[in-house]
Amino acid sequence: MNEALTESIDRFEYEYGIMKKVEDWRAGRLETVTLDELEESLVLED
């Protein structure tokens, strides 16, 4: 029972974290980069 409860709490915390990130993204509170900027930072450009 304790193990199931622990797993449920862990899953809830994980899902809450994802929802918080989505909320922050929608509100414009997250820093974003363009695909070109990402490729450049990872040295993926040809």
What's the pTM? 0.58
In a domain, 31, yes or no: yes
Domain extent, residue 34, equals 2-41
Residue 45 in this model has a pLDDT that exceeds 70: no
Residue bearing the bigger pLDDT, 45 or 37:
37
User: Tens digits of per-residue pLDDT, 6-33?
Assistant: 999 999 999 999 999 999 999 999 988 9
Domain assignment present for residue 30? The answer is yes
User: Contact, 21 vs 30, CB < 8 A?
Assistant: yes
Q: For residues 8 and 33, what is the distance between their CA atoms, to the nearest angstrom?
A: 34
Q: How many domains does the chain have?
A: 1
Phi then psi for 30, rounded to 5 degrees? -105, 145
In a domain, 10, yes or no: yes
Chain length of the chain = 46
Domain contains 46:
no
